[in-house]
Each structure stands twice: as structure tokens, then as C-alpha cells.
Structure 1
Amino acid sequence: MKIDEDIRLYLTEKRAIIDAFPVQDVQAAAEMLFRTYDEGGIVYAMGNGGNAGTLDHAYCDFKHHPFVSEDKSQPLSTTVKRLTFVNLCGSAAELSGLVNDLGPDSMYSASIQPFATERDLVMAYSGSGNSPNVVRALEAAAKAGARTFAMTKGDGGRCRELADVCLVVPGTSRFPGQTGRNDNNFHFEDAMLSVNHMLVGLLKQRVSQEV
């Protein structure tokens, strides 16, 4: 296959995913986010590999973007309630310490179990839906009564069973690098950033209505 045909294949698959995207799950995630914000709860987010990098981007967006003026020239008044967003992937020191002491499967649950409450939202990202550290964290969140959102692909794995809302990115792929066990993973990671942007934009709209 020629390079231009591969590129068109990727874009064709992307359009099919967009057309079939589970909008109702994004809406449900937004509603949980709004409740967490209204109740003064905390958003905890986690993922592995490239997903952890995307969550660093999300941390910046969620913490700041909804709380600046429309022209980005100044922050909103300090009287406007902020959202507390905790990126569980954000500290190499913390993660390496938890892995060293408790093992990789408990690296996220150990950060959630002592702190999460029913006011909070735990967001989990796993391409397979079966990453042990993400699964254990969702189990810990459920025990704490926290709201849970997961995003995955394929059959959704264990995340689909555990999360209050599980967004499963639809489709399969023939594009190089995301076939076999890695099926649809590039599209999943693209969609993860898009969902985060949708949620941030919707939260900004919600905040602006209260200013």
C-alpha cells in the first residue's frame, strides 16, 4: 500500500469513529464532572504510558482553562470556585516510590483509597480496559463511593464492569502500528484528548454561567 493510501486509511477510520462516537457517554461524564465541581469534590485521573502524558495536558487544561476570561487576559475572580484536579501520573518520585514499596498493580489505588470520598470523580484510561493498576484503582474508588468514569476500547475489559460510565471507543483498525493486540490504539489515544477537550470546554461553559 502506498503511503498516501495509508494516510487516507487512517483518516477514513477516524471519520467512522467520529460518526459512531458514544456521545451519551461524554454527556454522562460531563454531568458527573459538574456534580463533582458543584459539591467541591476532587477529580483524580490516571493512565499508563502515552495516556499518562495526555493526562498531564488534561491537568493543565482542567486546572486553568475554565477559570480564565474569554480573551485569556486574566483569571476569573477568586470568588469563583475552582476545580481540584489530581493527576495521579504527575510525580515520578511518587510513582516510583509506590511501585518500589507496593508494586505496580497498587500504584494508583494506594493514592486513592485513603483520600477519595463520595463527592469525588475518578477518571481511568486504559486501552485494554484491563490494566491491573487502573482496575484496582476503580475498585478502590467504588469502595469509597466516588463517581467513576473509564475510557477504553475493544470490549472494554474490566473497566466496563467497574466504572459508573465507561466510554468505549468504537471500531477496529488496519493502519500500521495499531493492529493485533494494539488494535485501534492510536485512535483511542486521539479520542482521549478530544474527550478531555470536550469536558474542559463544557466545564468552562458551566462556570461562565455562574459568574
Structure 2
Amino acid sequence: MTLAETIGLYLAEKRRIVEDFPVAVLERAAGMLFATYDEGGTVYAMANGGNAGTLDHFYCDFKHHPFVTEDKTRPLPPDVKRLSFVNLCSSAAELTGLVNDIGADDMFAASLAPVVGPGDLVMAYSGSGNSANVTKALQVAVEAGARTFAMTKGDGGRCRELAEVCLVVPGTSRFPGQVGKNDNNFHFEDLMLSVNHMLVGLLKQRVAARHLG
């Protein structure tokens, strides 16, 4: 296969995923986000590896983008409620401290347990759906009565069992670097950012409709 053909393979796979995207599942996730915002709850998000870095993008978007004017020249009035968003991956000091003290499997659960409750939304991102640190934190969220959303691929793993709403990225891949145990991983990671943008845009639309007419 030539380089051009391999690049074309990636793009063809991407098109199929977009065509098969589970819109109804994301619609349910948006409903949970809206309810959390309306009730003054907090969104907590977690992921591993490069996906933890993507959550910094999520944090910036969710915290600011829905709450500026359409031309981005000024924020909405201060009486417009903002969304509380916590990236559980944001502090290297906290995470390494928790890993050192209680172990990697429990680091997100330990960070989440003292603060999460009903009215909050916990968002979990795991390609396998079985990352122990993610599934243990999801269990904490469920027991606390929080809303739970997970994004996975393949069969969804434990995340699919635990989360109230689970978005499973469809398809499989033959592209180098995302076969075998990493099947569809690049597409999963690409789609994380798309899911973020769709949710942020939908929240922005909702906020604008309420406060800008």
C-alpha cells in the first residue's frame, strides 16, 4: 500500500465512523450536561495518557466558550451562571501523590470521592473501557448518585456496564498504529475532541437562547 493509499485508508475509516456515529447517545449525554448546568452541579472528567491532555482542551472550552458573545468580543453578563468543570487530570502533584500513597488504580476515585454528589456529572474516557482507575472512579460516582457518561470503543468494557450513558465509538481499523489491542484508538482519540466540541456548542446554544433571546 502506498503512502497515499494508507492516508486514504485512515480517512475512509473516519468517514464510516462519522456515518455510524451514535447521535442518540450523544443527545442523552447533552441532556445530562444541561441538567448538571441547570442544577448548579459540577462536571468532573478523567482519562489516561494523551487523552488526559485532551481534557485540558475540554476544560478551556467548557469553562469559557459557552459564556461569551458570538463574536467573542466580550463575556456574557456576570449574572449568567457559568459551568463548573473539574479536570481530574490537571494536577501532576495531586495525581503523583495519590499514586504514591494509594496506587494508580485508586487515584481518580480518591480525588472524586470527597466532592462528588447528586447533581454532578462524571465523564470518563477509556479506550478499552476497562482502565481500573477510571472504572473505580465511575463506581464512586454511581454510589454517590451522580450522573455518569463514558466514552469507549470496542465492546465498551466495564465502562459500558457502569455508566448511565456510554458512547462506544463504532468500527475497527487497519491503519498502522491502531490495530490489535490499539484497534481504532486514533479514531477514538480524534472523536473525543469532536464530542467535546458538539457538547460545548450545544451548551452555548442553550445558554444563548436563555439569555440573549
Return the TM-score normalized by structure 2: 0.98
Deviations 1:75-131 (A, max 9, x none): 110000000000000111111111111110011001111111110000000000000
Distance in 1 (CA, whole Å) between partners of 2:146 and 2:29 is 13
Instruction: Report the CA distance between 1:143 and its aligned residue.
Output: 0.5
Q: Which amino acid aligns with 2:19?
A: D
Alignment of 1:136 with 2:120, yes or no, is no
Residues 1-211 of structure 1: pairs in structure 2 closer than 5 A = 1-211=1-211
How far residue 163 of structure 1 moved from its aligned partner, in angstroms, is: 0.1
CA deviations on 1:151-210 (whole Å, 9 max, x unpaired) are: 000000000000000000000000000000000000000011000000000000011011
State the Cα distance separating 1:12 from its structure 2 match: 0.4
Q: Deviations over 1:3-43 (max 9, x none)?
A: 00000000000000000000011100000000000000000
Gaps of 5+ in 2: none
Distance 2:102 2:77 in 1: 42
Which consecutive residues of structure 1, in runs of 5 or more, have no partner in the other structure?
none
Letter in 2 for 1:192: M
Question: In structure 2, what is the Cα distance between the partners aligned to 1:177 and 1:5?
Answer: 16
SS in 2 for 1:108: helix
| Residue aligned with 2:116, SS | coil
Q: Which residue type is aligned with residue 53 of structure 1?
A: G
Letter paired with 1:197 = H
CA distance in 1, matches of 2:124, 2:167: 10
- Equivalent-residue separation in structure 1 for 2:186 and 2:24 (angstroms): 22
Q: d(CA) in 2 for partners of 1:78 and 1:98?
A: 36
- The alignment yields a C-alpha RMSD, in angstroms, of 0.4
Give me the TM-score of the superposition, normalised by structure 1. Answer: 0.99
Q: Which aligned segments of 4 or more residues in structure 1 are displaced greater than 6 angstroms?
A: none
